[in-house]
């Protein structure tokens, strides 16, 4: 019985984080907007709160490619000090490519001590976990970290208010060369 209860608790906790199940009364997870103290900095990603859709092409390790459409949702959490996004590929009503799907979530927050954004990604279907640090590099916003294989990875965003380009790249030679593994065209569906 303990394993069943624990599994149910973990499942409900994950659903609550994704905003699917809400606790009654005040919730520490949901927030109506950014915390006042760093509202200007928080709105850098706060402008993306809402519903998005994307078209993606991903390159598998064997070099084959998978393309399709997905969904991406952004919302405020933790008293407005962080944002959580939920990423779904393929999206509702889309064919499910064999071995190429993922549901995941990121929590991102502004770190005023370092003047950077921090992001933790969890992809439970493929057991992906990553921690990234982000900042502007020229006209692009770049999150840098390591992938689950220990290779350098970065996520690059060309951000606009109602659409953006997103790409994921990995380097196996310490950043001398980069290999594109994902590219997405993302557009806003609803604020």
Q: What is the Cα Rg of the chain in Å?
A: 17
Q: Where are the alpha helices (DSSP H) in 64-145?
A: none
Residue 16: per-residue pLDDT: 46
Residue 134: per-residue pLDDT: 94
Q: How high is the mean pLDDT in each 10-residue block of the chain (191 residues)?
A: 34 43 53 94 92 92 89 94 93 74 92 96 88 91 88 84 89 92 92 76
Residue 21: per-residue pLDDT: 40
Residue 113: per-residue pLDDT: 96
The residue written with tokens 């979530």 in the block is 105
Residue 17: per-residue pLDDT: 46
The residue written with tokens 């919302």 in the block is 75
Question: Which CATH entry fits the domain spanning 31-190: 3.90.320.10, 2.40.128.20, 1.10.3720.10, 3.30.565.10?
Answer: 2.40.128.20
Long-range interactions of 73-78: CB distance < 8 A, separation 24+:
73/19, 74/45, 74/48, 74/49, 74/50, 75/19, 75/30, 75/49, 76/30, 76/31, 76/32, 76/33, 76/34, 76/46, 76/49, 77/17, 77/29, 77/30, 77/31, 77/107, 78/28, 78/29, 78/31, 78/109
Residue 171: per-residue pLDDT: 93
Residue 54: per-residue pLDDT: 95
């Amino acid at each position: 019985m303990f394993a069943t209860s624990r599994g149910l608790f973990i499942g409900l906790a994950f659903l609550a984080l994704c905003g699917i199940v809400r606790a009654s009364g005040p919730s520490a997870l949901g927030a109506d907007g950014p915390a006042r103290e760093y509202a200007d900095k928080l709105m850098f990603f706060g402008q993306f709160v809402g519903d998005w859709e994307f078209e993606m092409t991903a390159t598998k390790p064997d070099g084959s490619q998978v393309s399709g459409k997905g969904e991406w949702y952004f919302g405020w959490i933790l008293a407005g000090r962080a944002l959580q996004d939920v990423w779904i590929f393929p999206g509702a009503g889309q064919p499910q490519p064999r071995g190429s799907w993922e549901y995941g979530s990121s929590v991102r927050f502004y770190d005023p001590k370092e003047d950077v954004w921090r992001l933790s990604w969890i992809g439970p279907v493929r057991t992906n976990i990553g921690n990234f640090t982000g900042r502007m590099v020229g006209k692009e916003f770049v999150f840098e970290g390591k992938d689950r294989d220990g290779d350098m990875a970065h996520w690059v965003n060309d951000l606009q208010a109602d659409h953006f380009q997103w790409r994921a790249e990995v380097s196996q030679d310490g950043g001398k060369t980069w290999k594109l593994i994902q590219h997405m065209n993302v557009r806003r569906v609803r604020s």
